[in-house]
């Protein structure tokens, strides 16, 4: 991330979620604020959005948000009352939070958060009671420091959503953040996505990975971190998590894209992995 510049990839993924609301029925991830938050500049380019590549990316964005919010709902049912959205971008959960007692903390790079707050104001989307903004750069401050200064209760369990962020971090920042989450009480969990290490890819898949990597690098947000499934398992175990779930594209298709008449689904091989780790 460049100092003082909002994330461009945050706008791209928010756009994909908004297009999902308009073009894909039924929605895998329903979000009534996905379109309004983008303001009058949001337009759907039908030619582009009905292409194979755009549909695949949209399916992944929808699946990962749905997965995180499904995991959150299960955590809330078990009594969790704090949700921390790490690298929140234009995530809209806080503005349609159905859980009355759930406090939400949006943690993000300062320039991205300032830009989002402008968009919210322009769209007249009010910040609900129980929402706290935490401006923080994972590369220069620890999550523990940011949360300690924001009224987060570190003696109670919390659920963390961390979507579309891990690939952009250094290993040091990743370890610092998972280490902080693992230090919170039993019942705490984190859902996130990560990119698979291209070392094991065949030539076609490697080209697809390199094309995407070039696109995000051109947006000033290069990929810096990938794992194999085994490496991720070791990272989470060493950080102190006691349970880990990992889902690939095939598992996500089984869970979220069965029986659709429009054939929306994740491509094989998938675009990334989803994981949840429990303390």
Ligand X SMILES: C[S@@+](CC[C@H](N)C(=O)[O-])C[C@H]1O[C@@H](n2cnc3c(N)ncnc32)[C@H](O)[C@@H]1O
Q: Which residues bind ligand X (CB under 6 A)?
A: 1, 7, 9-10, 13-14, 87-91, 108-109, 112, 136-139, 163-165, 168
Q: Which residues contact 21 (CB under 8 A, 6 or more apart)?
A: 27, 30, 31, 32, 34, 35
**Minimum CB–partner distance for residue 63 and ligand X (Å):** 12
Cα(178)–Cα(169) distance, integer angstroms:
12
Q: Which is nearer to ligand X, 163 or 279 (CB)?
A: 163
**Minimum CB–partner distance for residue 213 and ligand X (Å):** 14
Residue nearest to ligand X (CB): 89
Q: Which is nearer to ligand X, 22 or 203 (CB)?
A: 22
Cα(250)–Cα(270) distance, integer angstroms:
8
Cα(279)–Cα(277) distance, integer angstroms:
7
Q: Which is nearer to ligand X, 219 or 234 (CB)?
A: 219
**Minimum CB–partner distance for residue 83 and ligand X (Å):** 13
**Closest listed residue to residue 98, CA positions, set 141, 67, 137, 128:** 128
Cα(92)–Cα(96) distance, integer angstroms:
7
**Minimum CB–partner distance for residue 90 and ligand X (Å):** 6
**Minimum CB–partner distance for residue 28 and ligand X (Å):** 14
Residue 277, H or E segment: strand 273-278
**Minimum CB–partner distance for residue 138 and ligand X (Å):** 4
Q: Between helices 8-23 and 52-77, what is the axis angle to 10°? A: 90
Q: Which is nearer to ligand X, 138 or 194 (CB)?
A: 138
Q: Which is nearer to ligand X, 137 or 248 (CB)?
A: 137
Contact by Cβ (8 Å): 96, 62: no
Q: Which is nearer to ligand X, 168 or 227 (CB)?
A: 168
**163's tokens:** 């979507």
Cα(179)–Cα(125) distance, integer angstroms:
34
**Minimum CB–partner distance for residue 4 and ligand X (Å):** 12
**Closest listed residue to residue 30, CA positions, set 88, 79, 98:** 98
Q: Which is nearer to ligand X, 179 or 237 (CB)?
A: 179
């Amino acid at each position: 991330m460049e100092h003082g510049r909002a994330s461009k990839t945050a706008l791209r993924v928010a756009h994909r979620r908004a297009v999902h609301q308009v073009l894909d029925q039924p929605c895998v991830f329903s979000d009534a604020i996905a379109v309004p938050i983008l303001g009058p500049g949001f337009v759907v380019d039908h030619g582009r959005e009905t292409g194979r590549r755009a549909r695949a990316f949209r399916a992944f964005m929808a699946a990962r948000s749905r997965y995180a919010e499904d995991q959150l709902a299960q955590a809330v049912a078990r009594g969790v009352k704090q949700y921390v959205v790490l690298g929140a971008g234009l995530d809209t959960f806080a503005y349609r939070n159905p859980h009355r007692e759930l406090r939400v903390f949006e943690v993000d790079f300062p320039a991205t958060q300032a830009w989002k707050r402008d968009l919210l104001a322009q769209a007249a989307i009010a910040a609900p009671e129980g929402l706290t903004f935490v401006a923080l750069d994972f590369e220069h401050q620890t999550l523990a420091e940011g949360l300690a200064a924001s009224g987060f209760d570190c003696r109670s369990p919390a659920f963390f959503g961390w979507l579309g962020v891990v690939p952009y971090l250094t290993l040091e920042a990743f370890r610092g953040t998972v280490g902080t989450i693992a230090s919170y009480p039993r019942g705490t969990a984190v859902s996130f996505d990560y990119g698979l290490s291209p070392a094991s890819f065949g030539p076609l898949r490697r080209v697809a990975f390199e094309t995407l990597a070039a696109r995000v690098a051109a947006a000033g947000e290069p990929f810096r971190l990938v794992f194999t499934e085994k490496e991720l398992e070791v990272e989470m175990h060493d950080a102190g998590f006691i349970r880990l779930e990992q889902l690939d594209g095939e598992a996500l298709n089984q869970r979220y894209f069965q029986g659709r008449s429009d054939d929306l689904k994740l491509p094989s091989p998938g675009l990334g992995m989803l994981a949840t780790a429990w303390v």
